[in-house]
Amino acid sequence: MAIGLAAGLAGALAPQASRAEENCSSHRQLLEQALPADLKDAARAMIAAQPAAGQLTKAFNPRVIGGVLGDRLRPDKTQCRFGGKKKDTGLIECVWTSKAGSVLEVDLARGDISYVSRIRSRWSDEENRIKPEQAIDALKQVASGLGVPTSEWREPTARNVMAGVSGVPGSNGTNAGTTIRRAWVAASATRQIGGFPVLGSAVYAAINAAGEVARIQIDWPELRLAEGVSDADALTHQEIIDRGVDALGAEISCDNLGEVHAVAVLAPADFLPAGAPDDDDVEQSTEDQGRVATSPDYVPALLVYAFAPETQEGEGKITSPAREFVLPLVETIDG
């Protein structure tokens, strides 16, 4: 009887021992060093933060897109849906095209806008001499004209996009091989609310040699907190560390973690573990609204970057790639 009891206790304790062994001291130490000290205050500040007035879903005006983009666009009425009875009111989604091959796609429920001009995206024999600040200004002008509140922009940047073309004849008529030059300048900006980054929300454009927007992609959903999120449910520093250690230990071995970085963010709820809606939720949403709601709900969260230790060439060690984890800063319905 004693032997059976001892075996039962050993079996019950084995998973805990294994978990404790996996969540080694290096995981906890690196995470503790990476965490900001004021996470509870950060969670409260994110919950209280207000998005800028005139969000994309309300500010987008289909009547001005031709002038904003400098393109002759016409709506494809077979691909347009409206929330109201009158056309151009309560727009949900639509596609515009031009005879020159341009395409503009809008899905306001998701806060998504994409545009590509076939003519402006063509290879140009002209060297692109657009300066970074000019590319950012071009992005800002078009994005704001389409309804993006630039007051929510965070860290706009620009970088060169190089392209090559083969078979370019040289001065003596011979084939000069492949010519590589700056084709576009890519300008982009991420989003912030109340000083906190918003995951999955950004704007990007490719600017051609004439300073025109050849392509643009906007991901700027309506920002709303997930139902039930309250600063009264903010997790303690220790609770966040424990959850972070569990997440790291579940995927990274003790000897395969070298560095950890962490930043407080607003994250879509479905970025969290078990945060996606279940089938019943989707069916209810479809029944109530006639379509599945695709605009995400947001929660205060912690974005954790985990990096493997540095290895020297020839050591023969195999390390894992960098990992990202998103952990809630508040107790959520899914727990």
Condensed to tens digits (0 to 9), the pLDDT of residues 293-304 reads 467 999 999 999
- Which residues lie closer than 8 Å to 75 by C-beta, 6 or more apart? 62, 94, 95, 96
Residue 103's region, left for phi above 0, alpha for psi from -120 to 50, else beta, is beta
Point out the least confidently predicted range of 98-102, 163-167, 293-297, 314-318. 314-318
Which residue shows structure tokens 């992609």?
Answer: 217
Q: How far is CA 203 from CA 68, 137, 149, 217, 234, in A?
A: 16, 13, 11, 6, 31
Pairing state between β 298-307 and 259-268: antiparallel
Which one, of 47, 56, 92, 95, lies nearest residue 74 by Cα? 95
Question: What is the sign, positive or negative, of the torsion defined by CA atoms of 77, 83, 89, 90?
Answer: negative
- Which residues lie closer than 8 Å to 312 by C-beta, 6 or more apart? none
For residue 113, what pLDDT is reported?
Answer: 97
Q: How far apart are CA 64 and CA 186, in angstroms?
A: 24
For residue 59, what pLDDT is reported?
Answer: 93
| Phi then psi dihedrals of residue 289, to 5 deg | -115, -5
Which one, of 119, 85, 122, 117, lies nearest residue 104 by Cα? 117
For the chain, give every domain's residue range.
Answer: 22-48+228-328, 56-219
Q: How far is CA 247 from CA 29, 47, 220, in A?
A: 14, 24, 29
For residue 325, what pLDDT is reported?
Answer: 93
pLDDT tier for residue 158 given thresholds of 50, 70 and 90: very high
**How much is the pTM?**
0.80
Point out the least confidently predicted range of 80-89, 154-163, 249-258, 305-314. 80-89
